[in-house]
Amino acid sequence: MSNRHRGSWIAGGVLLLVALSSLIVPALSPYDYYTPQLDLISKPPMLQGGHLLGTDPLGRDLLIRVLWGCRISLLIALVASGISVGLGVLWGATAGYAGGTIDALMMRTVDVLYSVPFVPFVIVLTVLFGHELWLMFVAIGAVSWLDIARIVRGETLSLKRREFIEAARVSGVRGARMIGRHIVPNLLGVVIIYATLTVPTVILFEAFMSFLGVGVRVPLASLGSLIADGASDMQAHPHLLLVPAAVLAAIVYCFNFLGDGLRDLLDPRQQS
Amino acid sequence: MSTAPLLQIRGLGVYYATAHGAVDAVNDLDLDLGAGECLGLVGESGSGKTAVLLAIMGLLSSQARLRGNIRYRGTELLGLGAPALNALRGARIAMVFQDPMSALNPYLRVIDQLSEVSRVHGGSSRRAAEQRALEMLESVQIGEPERRARQYPHQLSGGMRQRVMIAMALMAEPEIVLADEPTTALDVTVQAQILSLLQQVRARTGAALLLVTHDLGVVAQLADRVGVMRAGRLLELADCERLFASPRHAYTQTLLAALPKLELPA
């Protein structure tokens, strides 16, 4: 826990705090995210009644709605980075290491998925299956691993020619063991950086989809839909825009910091 | 050699097809390696000496075209399928690489790297493999083997890493050790230590050593027989003493004459 990594530890702590409070606070609060209170419309932050961040145009507690939004956004970040790291790394490393026909087939599959126009795809899914939250996960999961698969494949191609890989080969190591023990650990630096870049991207993408109205379904809120609602009312009630926007910015910023620290933490060469 | 050689190379050719026609890295090479023997292969850069090792190990890139035979105890190695080849590599034939800085996986501790060899071949238990790894570290004279085993490659010096490489090659008690310029990346005092280590290892394990180098001093110290290569061909093959005392091929004479001599100014 050197000085150099203080930022990463703080960022990790903040994210943990946000995640925990988004899980715990809504359960303890007397308010929920959907019941309107018509006598408390668009109130600014106030201590009275415990509406610490104020209320929205339907009189719902903004703090609770923002925390629910964090739940959705963090869940999407988790799913997207899980899929992109898990599937993307395995896919790319296997393709790059195997080479030849296998490589060509796997990477052409990636190209095909890549060429699916994404926003219309999500809208079609929404039309077919209704306005379901899991569609969002399917859609983001389907594309988030494509970039990382390409990057990992490229890295694997150059890694494959490194001497320690040949040394492992002449020791008789092959196949899954080679990929799992020799290739993948050496990809970690690139993968972690890229995964932490993916997280903000998908959070923002979810915000974008919610802004378009194909994300979460009302009355549930995500950070994106809260920002969209707040933006329409920003002159009269700026707190409705500022609060969710600040939380989103803080989360994205923390993820970027966390990536740097994680990479150093997992690299034995960076440890004293 | 009265008995059949352990490794028999006949008419080995390594070719690369290029836009300007075929380029041959190795041309019509015959070589025998007897059990327990140390054969040195010397030559300038690009003479094809490393290509011979890579051909034996099946490490040549897929663009390379091969011809001829390489037989290990009668088994043809060229064109051998991957499973059979993997059963031999590391177990019966092992290799020590030139640059110990880049031939160890930076993400694996020394002990994991070593015990992997035992676990891949014969699938011994983790505990047994680690025990074996510690013994090997001790046998290549690494001080504090227990502590070193838990470290990562970047925490070891160059000489220590080369000792680890040698220990790794010996993990499965191979009959043949191929060494590709094992001392080139090391400084002179460490070179001497590694050479004497290789000598001891050979005496103790009885493994045959095929030593590729451009350093005539290394060959003179270790090899029983020496082959001189140039432009993909084996020019001369002779007992070590005979070659240094009375080189027959003009190129060998030039090579020996090119050695710098230590002389006091008159």
**What is the set of domains in chain A, with CATH numbers?**
64-270 (1.10.3720.10)
A23, A191, A197, A204, A262 from A113: Cα distances, Å: 34, 20, 20, 21, 30
Q: Å from A255 to nearest chain B CA?
A: 24
Nearest to B138 by CA among B46, B204, B70, B66: B204
Residue A155: CB atoms within 10 A of its CB come to 20
Q: Which of B120, B152, B154 sits opposite A172 (nearest CB)?
A: B120
**Predicted confidence (pLDDT) at residue A3 exceeds the cutoff of 80:** no
CB-CB under 8 Å, A269 with B154:
yes
In a mutagenesis test of the B interface, which of A157, A162, A164 is the best target, namely the one with the most B β-carbons within 10 Å?
A164
- Chain B hits for A174, CB-CB cut-off 8 Å, are 82, 86
What is the distance between the alpha carbons of residues B159 and B101, in angstroms, rounded to a whole number?
A: 10
pLDDT in tens, A46-95: 777 778 888 888 888 889 999 999 998 888 888 888 888 889 999 999 99
Angle at A186 between CA A153 and CA A98, to 5 degrees: 35
Burial A202-211 (b: 16+ CB within 10 A, else e): bbebbbebbb
What is the distance between the alpha carbons of residues B255 and B220, in angstroms, rounded to a whole number?
A: 13
Q: Which residue of B has its CA nearest to A162?
A: B102
Residues A30/A23, Cβ–Cβ less than 8 Å: no
pLDDT of residue A233: 85
Specify the higher pLDDT residue, A216 or B105.
Answer: B105
pLDDT of residue A109: 94
Mean pLDDT score, B189-198? 88
H-run or E-run covering B84: helix B82-88
Mean pLDDT of chain A: 86
**Predicted confidence (pLDDT) at residue B199 exceeds the cutoff of 60:** yes
CB-CB under 8 Å, B121 with A173:
no
Residues A173/B116, Cβ–Cβ less than 8 Å: yes
What is the distance between the alpha carbons of residues A18 and B1, in angstroms, rounded to a whole number?
A: 76
pLDDT band at B38; cut points 50, 70, 90? very high
Q: Å from B98 to nearest chain A CA?
A: 9
What is the distance between the alpha carbons of residues B218 and A177, in angstroms, rounded to a whole number?
A: 36
- Chain A hits for B98, CB-CB cut-off 8 Å, are 163
Where do the domains of chain B lie?
A: 104-171
pLDDT of residue B227: 93
Sequential DSSP letters for A170-213: HTT--HHHIIIIIIHHHHHHHHHHHHHHHHHHHHHHHHHHHHHT
Edge-to-edge, what's the strand order for the sheet holding B208-213? B93-96, B176-180, B208-213, B38-43, B225-230, B233-239
pLDDT of residue A2: 59
pLDDT in tens, B69-124: 999 998 899 888 888 888 888 889 999 988 888 889 999 999 999 998 888 887 77
Phi, psi (degrees; rounded to nearest 5) at A225: -70, -30
pLDDT of residue A216: 79
Residues B95/B172, Cβ–Cβ less than 8 Å: no
Q: Which residue of B has its CA nearest to A164?
A: B103
**Predicted confidence (pLDDT) at residue A23 exceeds the cutoff of 80:** yes
Q: Which of B99, B106, B120 sits opposite A171 (nearest CB)?
A: B120
Share of chain A above pLDDT 70, in %: 98
**Predicted confidence (pLDDT) at residue A1 exceeds the cutoff of 60:** no
Q: A180 CB near a chain B CB, below 8 Å?
A: no
pLDDT of residue A106: 96
pLDDT band at B211; cut points 50, 70, 90? very high
What is the Cα B27 distance to its own chain's centre? 20
Q: Which residue of B has its CA nearest to A268?
A: B107
CB-CB under 8 Å, B154 with A167:
no
Tell me how many residue pairs between chain A and chain B have CB atoms under 8 A apart: 76
Q: Which of A11-15, A223-227, B6-10, B127-131 has the lowest mean pLDDT?
A: A223-227
Compute the CA torsion angle A212, A215, A221, A224 (nearest 10 deg): -50
pLDDT band at A234; cut points 50, 70, 90? confident
CB-CB under 8 Å, B152 with A167:
no
pLDDT band at B1; cut points 50, 70, 90? very low
pLDDT band at B3; cut points 50, 70, 90? low
Mean pLDDT score, A7-28? 90
pLDDT in tens, B16-31: 888 888 888 899 999 9
pLDDT band at A272; cut points 50, 70, 90? low
B75 has which bridge partners? B72
CB-CB under 8 Å, B97 with A163:
yes
In the stretch 113-172 of chain A, residues with CB closer than 8 A to chain B read 162-164, 166-172
Residue B257 CB burial class (10 angstroms; 0-12, 13-18, ≥19): exposed
pLDDT in tens, A105-140: 999 999 998 888 888 888 888 888 877 778 888 788
pLDDT of residue B209: 93
pLDDT band at B2; cut points 50, 70, 90? very low
